[in-house]
Homo-oligomer: A and B are copies of this chain.
Amino acid sequence: MRANLHHLFNPESIAVIGASAHRGKIGYELLNNIITFGYKGKIYPVNIRAGEVDSILGLKPFQSLEDIPGPVDLALITIPAQYVADAMRDCIKKEVKACVVITSGFSETENIKGEQELVDIAESGSMVLLGPNVFGVVYTPVNLNASFGPTHLLAGKIAFITQSGALGISLMDWTIAERIGLSSVVSVGNKADIDDDDLLEYFAQDTYTRAIAIYMEGIKNGRRFMNLAEKIVLQKPLIVIKSGRSQKGAKAAASHTGSLAGVDNVFTSAFKQVGVLRAKTTREAFDWARIFHLEKPKGDNVVIITNGGGAGVMATDEAEENNLHLLDDYSYLEDVFKDCVPPFGSTRNPIDLTGQTGEEGYKIALRAALQEERIHCIVVIYCEAPLTDPSQVATFIIKEVEAQRSKKPVVVAFIGGTRSEDAINMLNEHGIPTYPEPERAMDALGAFYRWVHFIESEKKEKPPETLTLPAKEIESIIDNARREQRLQLLESEAKQILRLAGFDVPGFWMGSTKEECVRAAQKIGFPVVMKIVSEDIIHKTEVGGVRVGISSVDEVREAYTDIMTRVRKKYPDATIRGIIVCEMVEKGVETILGVSSDPQFGPVVMFGLGGIYVEVLKDVSFRVAPLSRRDAQEMVHEIKATPLLYGVRGGEKKDIAGLEDAIYRLGLLAAETPVIAEMDINPLMVLDKQKGCKVVDARITLQPKED
């Protein structure tokens, strides 16, 4: 964690530079929130015209920082942009440890230079800087509300980081109305210094924070975020609302991989890869966040208790969509619940107590469920009825949950009017996650289980990975192309690199004369394939530059002449390196592996089945490189066409282990060779089980050199 970041959240003294005695001014609201929310440390209002007033909000104002008698840990700056730099210089003199620049008018209005100045000043004194262009910071464990948002937040265990100011403030208000308890709110604004990653590191070790929610529009360094997230997720769930899903990402891309990846697919894959929960809306994010202070369930058996059959059906639908496991041992369930359920109800999970059940019915059924070891998680759904009292039902639920020893997760949904709203608030205030719709309860539970299962699978022992690539040899092939000022490697070069990375590349020889090709074919053995090699020709087949199934010396000679004639006719000026003679690969399932470069995440690996599966059906999967062996496995099984690899219509099962290994190696190669911009192995022929995967054709493009 960064030095001094601690003081942003736990200052012993605060100066508000630009404090104001006028209600409605940010300098007033900020100071007022700090005082009113109950901050216990020293508070110093600073105002250039401090001499004109005796007090601001009951505190003695100071004309400048240096006038303050004691040390200042945290400075909040809310003065016009042109004075901010000077104020920050004063902070450095005063040895302030953290400062928050509320003021806007920096990089968001193209004032890049002004913002850089602030960063330089902060660095000169190793002070951390939050902002500029933020609404402040809140940390409830020390009653710190240094924001100009609402004053009275509900303390709790969720840390909320937001890149959007207006949205962030309105969500603070919303959390109050929804009884969502927060440990912290941080407005990150322009992220000139402190960014998401710094804050993640802080909250990862913060014992007052149980779940972290981030509203994010962009990310500076995707891979760094992933590395950090990967560690944090094992401790605490990380929920990200990444907006801008519809942005098409207009970057031109030569390869399939690049054009298919798109910005948003990469985010989704990256989050999945490291166990980050991606919420679609802020509401969903907080629905999820509030469930995470519960103890982890000891197993997957979920039981739903309801008084409404319809609500039960809807919960079941949503459970299936969230891959939740509703306990379905019906004779067991009948034993457990038969005394709670009237004859026209149901014990078949959902446990339907029917509309005629009273408050007492919930108590009995919930107690029974809590006592059973085979039930790992309980969802209670209550449809408001005129003759029962929602608050009474809530009270019973709270009592039963608090009395239980096992700390089994209980999630609740109340459907109804204002009486139910009150009951929902009561339950949430008692730490029982409660929602106004059964679907939201199930959706939150789904996120809970996704996180739990991710951790479990991460904790499984993994074989130590000792695979290393011969970096030097790969580099020398690339250097050669660089010397010739080529970004596009020749097929033979690409294949050599892949062979060095451990791929099974069938025999190939370059021939620059007819007789060299004949000798190459004889070495390889018939039948062979012959292909033109030229950096100027991308679509070899279309120009007659490829011949397959060549089975004699005579045919080699004939093919050589034919290829050269055709190519020369179409591309009289192309630099022709010769003809590559390759072993014919037996028929298997054609797949495509690709790598493209994402501006935020770096190399991204794509997998799909050949031809129309990728081109028309867009049936592909992605992961950010380097990827784990489990990622490779998931990639193979994430596409719809996966069953084709298992053999359909009498086909043999293919070498799936070999394919996974190839994907894994490609991820490693991409991550360790950042100079590669794009790779396509198209096709990688996946043969029958244990027969391996063969690289039939390959293309590698280098990053343009930066000068």
Contacts and interface: CB of A to CB of B under 8 A. Distances in A.
A108 B108 CA distance: 64
Given A309-B164, A314-B243, A173 B417 contact: yes
A29 B387 contact: yes
Contacts of A383: 166-167, 169-170
A171 interface: yes
Contacts of A641: 612, 616-617
Nearest to A439: B281
Nearest to A343: B109
Contacts of A643: 616
A317 B170 contact: no
16 contacts: A162-B310, A166-B308, A166-B311, A167-B311, A167-B415, A169-B355, A169-B386, A170-B311, A170-B420, A173-B384, A173-B419, A174-B384, A175-B417, A177-B418, A245-B320, A281-B439
A499 interface: no
A163 B314 CA distance: 13
Contacts of A419: 173
Contacts of A282: 314, 415, 437
Interface string A164-194: 1111111111111100000000000000000
Interface in A366-400: 383-387
A148 to B, nearest CB: 6
A433 B385 CA distance: 27
Interface of A: 24, 29, 104, 108-109, 148-150, 162-177, 215, 217, 243-246, 280-283, 307-311, 313-314, 316-317, 319-321, 343-344, 354-355, 383-387, 415-421, 436-437, 439, 611-612, 615-619, 640-641, 643-644, 648-649
Contact of A644 (B162, B418, B612): B612
B29 A386 contact: yes
Contacts of A167: 308-311, 383, 415
Contacts of A384: 169-170, 173-174
A163 B311 CA distance: 11
A514 B694 CA distance: 48
A505 B175 CA distance: 66
B177 A421 contact: yes
A166 B616 contact: no
Contact of A310 (B166, B308, B317): B166
Contact of A109 (B308, B344, B616): B344
Given A244-B317, A307-B166, A173 B416 contact: yes
A163 B165 CA distance: 45
Given A317-B245, A615-B648, A617-B617, A163 B310 contact: yes
A616 to B, nearest CB: 5
The 3 lowest CB-CB distance pairs between A and B, nearest first, are A164-B310, A173-B417, A166-B308
A218 B144 CA distance: 54
Contacts of A309: 164, 166-167, 217
Most buried by B among A316, A317, A615, A643: A317
B215 A310 contact: yes
Contacts of A344: 104, 108-109
Nearest to A165: B355
Contacts of A439: 280-281, 283
A22 to B, nearest CB: 12
B24 A387 contact: yes
Contact of A420 (B173, B245, B385): B173
A541 to B, nearest CB: 10
A616 B648 contact: yes
Given A166-B354, A167-B310, A174-B416, 13 more contacts: A164-B308, A166-B310, A168-B310, A169-B385, A171-B415, A173-B419, A243-B313, A244-B313, A245-B317, A246-B319, A281-B314, A281-B437, A616-B641
